[in-house]
Structure 1
């Protein structure tokens, strides 16, 4: 098995801390269907917590397994036409090529070219932004037994300057993993762990230190922890709390096959009397 991509070295930790919390938007809905010929359609819509406006997009995806070609076309309420073409095992086994474009008629356009390569020891990725810059972001991870080490670098081609660099180290076991990352030009350091305590309970935590933060003006170290508990085969609950005083809870329920409901809330324990708390729900259909 190939080592995880650089952004996935802390995947379990980040997923536990950030996924399946539904308070970010007051309401959202997602509908996914698959046609008999294999073309999938996905429609998403969500309300803004600021002004109540609705943002939505529709997407169609076609995959030809024989050739490894995948075409995805999307259109959203900002009038952006997003196209993604993927070719798996391009030129050589383990190499995937992607072309991603975005067009807002009369306003803006973007184009990116990506390469992803993996084998049992190495996963390497290269992302070229052909319009902005142009610029390049590349990362690579190397796996040895239970360890994964990786690095990322950003480069502005037009100016010939390195724009960012990061590094990470991870250790994984079947029921737990830990990771250490250094991002923002090695100025922000994070340490995180994930532990599947039992078949129904998962816990994790993350500590982040910004070496450039002014400790006299405010805190420079942030800590957050989360727990997930599976109630039964159709429902689970999650909770997380940060040292900033923000606490969040969520509940996910499968109402029937293909229909899921997510409920979430966040509270600021330091401002209980102020209207800063959030509530949200998500309804997901798939067929």
Structure 2
């Protein structure tokens, strides 16, 4: 039996990160509508009202995905007048090899970006290479190798203009179907992140993450723990708390096929008597909602 394909560098610790970050719509109110035409064109409209400043933003995205030919083209236009384009070519030259081109354009500021990428994955190895054309150019490469659940990975960025390595990171972990443990040394090996994920049973998942950044003046370890419980096939609740005393609660309900609603609440447990002081990142208490339509 061939070894499984390991996750990419950006997906190391993904199960733990998703449990601790997704389905908590506490930053504001969002409305997302996704529709798909018979010819494979997908339309996505996203609107967000930010609770912090009351601003309303959004974007319109159109994606054409031809899975038979391994080609996908995505175009998006945001209310900030940013144009995004993403072209993907999968399995064209070799099995497991993928090419991508991602560009953005903001006309009034004459700001533009272009990133060219190649990704290659086979049993036991997953590599990615990026070239940021207008920044440096900056070349970034990462790789993850795996065997029997054990994973080792690394990432490095090289500035052609400065002829120097600008970033390097390392990671190791163990991934199994029911649990995963990941250790990462980031920020040129100055910040360390340890995370774990555990599917206790079909109804309960748990996760925790500890972060230590010796480059910051506050060198204390940041700890965050969370859990997810399925109430039934159509609903689940989530809860997490960190050592700053910020408690977040989330509830997601599938109202009907293609319609999903989420509610989020963040409480500063150190300031439960009032909301006159600000918590890290904004108001002491936050509440938000998300509604998704998909067809």
Could you tell me the TM-score, scaled by structure 2's length? 0.93
Counterpart check, 1:64 vs 2:66: yes
| Structure-2 residue corresponding to 1:225 | 225
> Is the CA contact 1:94–1:118 (under 8 Å) kept in the aligned structure 2?
yes
Query: Counterparts in 2 of 1:27-42, with a 5 A limit?
Result: 27-42=29-44
Residue 52 of structure 1 is aligned with which of 51, 54, 61?
54
Question: Which whole-Å deviations, capped at 9, do the CAs of 1:54-83 have from their partners, x for residues lacking one?
Answer: 110010111122321111111010111111
| In the alignment, structure 1 residue 162 sits paired with structure 2 residue 140 | no
CA–CA separation in structure 1 for the residues paired with 2:222 and 2:67: 45
Instruction: Confirm or deny that 1:208 pairs with 2:211.
Output: yes
Correspondence 1:168-247 to 2 at 5 A: 168-214=171-217, 218-247=218-247
Alignment of 1:1-287 (within 5 A): 1-25=4-28, 27-107=29-109, 108-214=111-217, 218-272=218-272, 273-275=274-276, 276-287=284-295
Q: Tell me, yes or no, if the aligned pair for 2:171 and 2:184 is still in contact at 8 Å.
A: yes
Conserved 8 A contact 2:27-2:288: yes
Distance (Å, rounded) in 2 between the aligned partners of 1:181 and 1:201 = 26
Deviation (angstroms), 1:219: 4.7
Alpha-carbon separation, structure 2, partners of 1:238 and 1:210: 27
Contact 2:197 2:208 in 1 (8 A): yes
How many angstroms does 1:92 deviate by? 1.6
Give the whole-Å Cα distance in 1 for the aligned partners of 2:37 and 2:176. Answer: 39
Distance 2:242 2:21 in 1: 12
Structure 1 position 190, deviation (Å):
1.3
Please tell me whether the aligned partners of residues 24 and 248 of structure 2 are also in contact (alpha carbons under 8 angstroms). Answer: yes
Other structure's SS at 2:44 match:
strand
The gaps in structure 2 that reach 5 residues or longer are: 277-283
Rounded to whole Å, the distance in 2 between the matches of 1:206 and 1:151 is: 20
Q: Which runs of 4+ in 1 moved over 3 A?
A: none
CA distance in 2, matches of 1:219, 1:83: 40
Secondary structure at 1:106 match in 2: helix
Flag structure 1 segments of 5+ consecutive residues without an equivalent. Answer: none
Distance 2:44 2:199 in 1: 32
Aligned-residue Cα RMSD (Å) equals: 1.1
User: Secondary structure of the residue that 1:2 maps to in structure 2?
Assistant: coil
Counterpart-to-counterpart distance in 1, 2:289 and 2:68: 39
TM-fit CA distance, 1:95: 0.7
State how far apart, in whole Å, the 1-side matches of 2:152 and 2:212 are.
Answer: 20
Contact 1:213/1:220, CA 8 A, preserved across alignment: no
SS in 1 for 2:15: helix
- Whole-Å separation in 2 of the counterparts to 1:174 and 1:103: 41
